[in-house]
Amino acid sequence: MTTHIVPVRTYVAVFVALLVLLAATVAVNFVSLGELNVLAAMVIAVCKMCLVMLFFMHVRYSGRLIWIYVCIGFYWLAILIALTLGDVLTRAWLRP
């Protein structure tokens, strides 16, 4: 079979990176950045997700088709959230 065998070293490095990111997200939470707090938390979460998917879930070594189906769920979720939020946030515009 043509499966890619990832060295243990890589897995451990990814794990350490994940723990560092976890520490970072908790640490950032103790600093007041206003709106940026949410942004920082989400950016870190996305980084962690990418690490898990690319290495633990072997997406990095997978074909284009897998990549498409990895992205498709998140794309559709973005549609759901964006258009729903689009309604909620603009409701007050017309009638002050």
CA distance 15 to 45: 14
Site for other proteins (CB under 8 A): which residue of 55, 60, 61, 64? 55
Q: Give 7-44 as a DSSP string.
A: PHHHHHHHHHHHHHHHHHHHHHHTS--TTHHHHHHHHH
Question: CB-based burial of residue 79 (10 Å sphere; 0-12 exposed, 13-18 middle, 19+ buried)?
Answer: exposed
Number of Cβ within 10 Å of residue 51's Cβ equals: 17
Q: How many helices (H) and strands (E) does the chain have?
A: 3, 0
| Per-residue binder mask for other proteins (CB under 8 A), 14-53, x = binder | xx--xx--x--xx--xxxxx---xx--xx-xx--xx--xx
- Under rule CB under 8 A, residue 6 binds other proteins: yes
Residues from 56 through 95 that contact other proteins (CB under 8 A): 56-58, 62, 65-66, 69-70, 72-74, 76-77, 79-81, 83-95
Q: Which residues bind other proteins (CB under 8 A)?
A: 1-3, 5-6, 8, 11-12, 14-15, 18-19, 22, 25-26, 29-33, 37-38, 41-42, 44-45, 48-49, 52-53, 55-58, 62, 65-66, 69-70, 72-74, 76-77, 79-81, 83-96
